[in-house]
Amino acid sequence: MKNFSLAIHGGAGTLVKGMMTADLDTQYKTALQNALDKGYAILEHGGTAIEAVEKAVITLEDSPLFNAGKGSVFTANETHEMDASIMDGKTINAGAVSLITGIKNPIRLAKDVMEKSEHVFLAGIGAIEFAKANGYAIEDESYFYDEFRHQQWLEIKDSDSFQLDHSAKKDSKFGTVGAVACDQNGNIAAATSTGGMTNKKWGRIGDSPMIGAGNYANNKTCAVSCTGSGEFFIRAVVAYDVSCLMEHKNMSLKDASNEVIHNRILKIKGDGGLIAVDSKGNIAMPFNTEGMYRACKSSNGKEEISIYR
Ligand code: ASP
């Protein structure tokens, strides 16, 4: 049997040790462990990488601790607009949704776009219509209401600023979630889901639903899920850049991931991180911020759950 592995993230940002209470620290680690266990169990039982990343991300979307699904941040209009994407490295099929409201698990919808539509990327009203046609319940806004996130928004709502969920100054954190997996057949996949950035305006779309920017998978190279200031990750085409460095420069997963996060994106002042796997089950989880909620497990015995640098 080949080596198989799963890595997940719950966002990167100014996560400095000591800024968080011991109780909150435990809550985050427990939530990460839960998502890791659920995704890994699928791989262990011979399931596909796509199934594993979907399950891990759904579990994170259902937790109010992360900025995706239930815990999504507020837009400038006091609403929630979520983005998600998923990609299968075996077939190079992909599905993505953006600017969606009322959907409990955006990653499921992205997977349905991949599997049940002729398209790759659906946004806004059209994406919701597609969801309804496929039997999705539309949740009331109250499902996504979180007092902490509402406070975050109230603090900056009258300004032009928008901010990463886990980042600096105002509250200190990013919160997009993601998962990458390599299954027992050496097939890999990536999934990413987010509420975007607090106080975002005018139909702003980040890197998370953009194939190649915040999410990418190709069995030939790697599966990547990103978190960070989306505007920079889009301009640097981060996820695809890791793949290109492996394909065209023959770099290892680790070297390619480090080059993009610690050199290329930093040069344009982009902050954040990524998780990545290759078809041998190797894992990389670099970030250039103070911390990144992250966890991974591999059939070769490696297991890690960490927050800080
Ligand atoms: N990358 C996400 C965005 O820009 C934010 C995050 O990673 O928390 O929408």
Non-local (6+) Cβ contacts of 95 within 8 A are 85, 86, 87, 110, 111, 112, 113, 114, 115, 117, 120, 121
User: Ligand 1 atom 9: the closest Cα is on which residue?
Assistant: 196
Helices (H), the chain: 22-44, 49-61, 106-116, 124-133, 147-156, 168-171, 230-235, 238-249, 253-259, 265-267
As for how many domains the chain has, the answer is 1
Domain that holds residue 10: 5-308
pLDDT of residue 202: 82
For residue 82 and ligand 1, the question of a CB distance below 6 A is answered with: no
Number of the ligand 1 atom closest to the C-alpha atom of 83 = 9
Nearest ligand 1 atom, CA 195 = 9
Instruction: Indicate whether residue 230 lines ligand 1 (CB < 6 A).
Output: yes
Distance from CA of residue 50 to its chain's centroid? 14
Q: How far is Cα 211 from Cα 15, in angstroms, rounded to an integer?
A: 27
How much is the pLDDT for 161? Answer: 65
Q: Spell 281-309 as b/e; 16+ CB within 10 A means b.
A: bbbbbbbbbbbbbbbbbbbeeeeebebee
Distance 197 CA to ligand 1 centre (A): 6
Mutate to test the pocket of ligand 1, among 9, 81, 173, 174 (most ligand atoms within 8 A of CB): 174
**Is the CB of residue 210 below 6 angstroms from any atom belonging to ligand 1?**
no
Our mutation pick for probing the ligand 1 site, out of 164, 192, 289, counting the most ligand atoms within 8 A of Cβ, is: 164
* Residue 198 annotated as catalytic: no
Q: Is 227 in the pocket of ligand 1 (CB under 6 A)?
A: yes
Q: Rounded to the nearest whole angstrom, what is the distance from the C-alpha of residue 174 to the centroid of ligand 1?
A: 7
Q: Give me the catalytic one of 176, 192, 198, 289.
A: 176
pLDDT per 10-residue tile (average), the chain, 309 residues: 94 80 93 98 98 98 94 83 96 97 97 98 97 96 85 77 58 76 98 89 92 98 96 97 98 98 96 97 96 97 95
Q: Given the CA of residue 228, which atom of ligand 1 is nearest to it?
A: 7
Q: How many CB atoms lie within 10 A of CB 148?
A: 11
Q: For position 2, what pLDDT does the model report?
A: 85
Q: How close is the Cα of 3 to the center of ligand 1, in Å?
A: 30
What is the 166 CA–ligand 1 centroid distance (Å)?
10
Ligand 1 nearest atom to the CA of residue 230, by list position: 4
CA of 288 to the centre of ligand 1 (A): 14
Give residue 199 CA to ligand 1 midpoint distance, Å.
13
Atom of ligand 1 nearest to the CA of 175: 8
User: What CATH number is attached to the domain comprising 139?
Assistant: 3.60.20.30
